[in-house]
Chain A
Amino acid sequence: MKQHLNSEKDPSRILIVDDSPTQAKLLELILSGEGYHVSVAQNGREAVDLIAVNRPDLVVSDILMPEMDGFELCRQIRRTEEIKSLPIILLTNLSDPAEVLRSLEAGANYFLSKPCDNKALVSLVRQALLSKGQRRTSGDNGEVKVHYHGQNFSIGSNKDQIIDLLLTTYETAVDKNRELLNTKNELRTLNDKLERRVEERTAELREKDQLLLLQSRQAALGEMIGNIAHQWRQPLNVLGLTIQQLPLFHDLGELTKEFLNQNVNSSMELIQHMSQTIDDFRNYFRPDKEKVRFNVRETIENSLSLLEGSLQNPLITVDIVTKDDPVIYGYRNEFAQVLLSILNNARDALTEREVDDRRVTITIFTEGNRAVVTVADSAGGVPEGIMGKIFDPYFTTKGPQMGTGVGLFMSKTIIEKNMGGRLSVRNTADGAEFRIEV
């Protein structure tokens, strides 16, 4: 057995009183590890019996226990002449200041907070055993009446006892305070870490957003080039024929002044038209600097004229149903970009699925104070399995050369974040129906 530092010949005997077997076992292990003789009682009544037999040097007791609690145990000990000076450590969780007074009243010597800290326990036990010999058994017997929170306590303990108990109470409080400080520091460190993490994450997200924006611009640019190609193909074909007519007719002797003028005029008309196309696209893809009032129907018609070539070729019929003629206050080109995205998707779905009756119906109306535009196609609809994902960034059903998966994501961002509206989709009997509400 390990020799404890208190160099007595016989090891001191300690009685542990606790109704919780785990708590009791823990205390027993710690104290017997220090070389003390330890016995255990499960409540105050058992303790009283054991004390009579064992005559321990110190009692370490819990407060709340069945049959006889810690306070009653103290009182019984103090009432019994042979053992009235037996030092008692009460275990408390320090939740109620009245506990201090009640303990004093009952005649406890020390407080120790639960759950027990090993070092504090050992040091307090040593101190209690040491002062046992020096304790005055008689003191001033004047009783002190204390009124605290509506309760009366009469404390007859001597000054030693009061000071010891108050000191241990204070020590316990200091310990708790230290614990609190440590926790506070840990929390601050954790908080700093979290803040840094949030900052890092925000920066990452900003970068991601930027990348998305770039990709959506590139996608829009790609679409624009595709649309210009469609718009230009026909006039280029006509221009080719018109120009080649000149040497042909010259060789055939049919080149009159009138024919030449007519030929040049129609060529210039085509060239003007092609130039206008570029200007239209350019204006269209210029970023909006500020919100403006714009007519929904006109914006839709303009967007459709840009798409003319790419919708005409796969022979898609576009109907516009104007029930109302609303005006929106917002970003006109961004709104048009959303329409283009939805229309391009409809076109791709209609051609990819080789639908015979290729139709897109655009309906414009108002609902309350909101402008609503629905774009419905006849391509069979969005498969149920991907319905929830189509607005996610980078989600695409098209091959890598066809789609980047940012079109509908950006559309949702534009309508919902930039313009405070709503963009949703549902399936009708014929196909998908996108609904823009602003």
Chain B
Amino acid sequence: MESIADPVSILLVEDEEAILKLLASILTSKFPGVVLSTASNGRTGLELFKSHLPDIVLTDIKMPEMGGVQMADKIRAIKPDTKFIILTGDSGKSVHQDSKGFGFDHYIMKPVVFGVLFAAIEQCLAGIAQQRS
């Protein structure tokens, strides 16, 4: 799979601190080979992206300063093949129906079910491995 010299990196962006901490802890345990960086809003997420250029971006949508979709649009302009996993499900309106949030690789409903989240990440990892080989 991924070569040791060039580990896959994930950027996790979530404004709710408790969720950010838990997800970070879960992801490092589940995917020990992955490099994880975290941000609590779209603006710092974008800055981190520019310096780290991660392969996968796992992000919440509604956040202060800059939302997830807005950040994703700017990231795509920098690196179009970035994989996105969007965390949704805070209100009745689904992001799938929102044209602005359309066309991402994966949508994960909150409350997050590990099986679904892990499957999405593994699919992204497999895709990245394929691209690299």
Verify that A and B bind, or say they do not: yes
Which residues does A use to contact B, with CB under 8 Å?
233-234, 236-242, 244-245, 248-249, 252, 254, 313-315
Known: A241-B23, A245-B22. A234 touches B16 (CB 8 A): yes
Total chain B interface residues with beta-carbon distance under 8 A: 18
In this assembly, does B126 line the interface, its C-beta being within 8 Å of a C-beta of chain A? no
Given contacts A248-B29, A249-B29, A252-B29, contact A238 B90 (CB under 8 A): no
From known contacts A233-B90, A315-B64, infer whether A244 and B30 are also in contact, taking CB-CB under 8 Å. Answer: no
Q: Identify which of A237, A252, A314 contacts B30 (C-beta below 8 A).
A: A252
Do residues A237 and B111 form an inter-chain contact, with CB atoms below 8 A? yes
Please determine whether B18 and A238 come into contact, CB atoms closer than 8 angstroms: yes
Of A237, A254, A314, which contacts B112 at CB under 8 A? A237
Q: How far is the CA of A149 from the CA of B121 in the complex (A)?
A: 116
- A237 and B110 contact, Cβ closer than 8 Å, known pairs A242-B22, A252-B29, A313-B91: yes
Residue of A nearest to B118 (CB): A248
Q: Are A241 and B90 in contact (CB under 8 A)?
A: no
B114 and A244 form a contact (CB under 8 A): yes
Known: A245-B26, A248-B26, A248-B29; 12 extra A-B contacts, CB below 8 A, are: A236-B111, A237-B111, A238-B16, A238-B19, A239-B111, A240-B110, A241-B26, A244-B112, A244-B113, A248-B114, A313-B90, A313-B91
Tell whether B106 is near chain A: CB-to-CB under 8 Å. no
| Interface: B25 (CB within 8 A) | yes
**Chain A residues whose C-beta falls within 8 Å of the C-beta of B64 in the assembled complex:** 315
The residues of B that contact A237 with a CB separation of less than 8 Å are 16, 19, 110-112
Question: Would you give the shortest CB distance from B121 to chain A, in whole angstroms?
Answer: 13
- B43 beta carbon closer than 8 Å to chain A: no
Partner pick for A241 among B30, B62, B91, B111, CB 8 A cutoff: B111
Complex Cα distance A240/B113, Å? 8
**Can you list 8 A-B pairs, Cβ within 8 angstroms, ordered by A?**
A234-B16, A234-B19, A240-B112, A241-B23, A245-B26, A254-B29, A313-B62, A313-B90
A residues in contact with B22, CB < 8 Å: 238, 241-242, 245
**A residues within 8 A CB of B90?**
233, 313
Q: Which of B1-60 contact A (CB under 8 A)?
A: 16, 18-19, 22-23, 25-26, 29-30
Complex: A237 Cα to B113 Cα, angstroms: 10
Q: Which of A241, A244, A254, A313 has the most CB of B within 10 A?
A: A241
Q: Which residues of B contact A241 (CB under 8 A)?
A: 19, 22-23, 26, 111-112
How far is A315 from B70 in the complex, measured between Cα atoms in Å? 15
Question: Which residues of B from 40 to 93 have beta carbons under 8 Å from A?
Answer: 62, 64, 90-91
- Which of B30, B111, B113: most chain A Cβ within 10 A? B111
A116-B116 Cα distance, complex, nearest whole Å: 101
Q: In the complex, A236 Cα to B109 Cα: how many Å?
A: 12
Q: In the complex, which residues of chain A have a beta carbon less than 8 angstroms from the beta carbon of B30?
A: 248, 252
Contact flag A233-B114 (CB < 8 Å), given A238-B22, A252-B29, A315-B62: no
Q: How far is the CA of A362 from the CA of B8 in the complex (A)?
A: 49
Q: Which residues of A contact B62 (CB under 8 A)?
A: 313-315
Closest beta carbon of chain A to B86's beta carbon, Å: 15
Q: How far is the CA of A56 from the CA of B79 in the complex (A)?
A: 124
* Distance of A149 Cα from B34 Cα, bound (Å): 121
Which residue in chain B gives the minimum CB-CB distance to A315?
B64
Which residue of B has the minimal Cβ distance to A234? B16
With both chains docked as a complex, state the minimum distance between the C-beta of A269 and any C-beta of chain B, in angstroms.
10
CB distance from A351 to the nearest CB of B (A): 10
Distance (whole angstroms) from the CB of A356 to the closest CB of chain B: 12
Residues of B within 8 A of A233 (CB): 90, 110
Measured CB to CB, the nearest residue on chain B to A317 is B64
Q: Hey, which chain B residues are within 8 Å of A315, CB to CB? A: 62, 64
Instruction: Across the interface, name the chain B residue whose C-beta is closest to A254.
Output: B29
| Chain B residue nearest in CB terms to A238 | B18
With the chains together, A245 CA to B19 CA distance in Å?
Answer: 12
B residues in contact with A244, CB < 8 Å? 26, 112-114
What's the Cα separation between A252 and B30 when bound, in Å? 8
Which residues of A lie under 8 Å from residue B23 when comparing CB positions? 241
**Shortest distance between the CB of A426 and any CB in chain B (Å):** 30
| Contact in complex: B25, A245 (CB < 8 Å) | yes
Bound together, the chains give a CA A283 to CA B53 distance in angstroms of 51
Residue of A nearest to B22 (CB): A241
Of all chain A residues, which has the CB nearest B16? A234
A233 and B19 alpha carbons, distance in the complex (Å): 12
Task: Pick the 7 closest A-B CB pairs, nearest first.
Answer: A240-B111, A241-B22, A244-B114, A237-B111, A238-B18, A237-B110, A315-B64
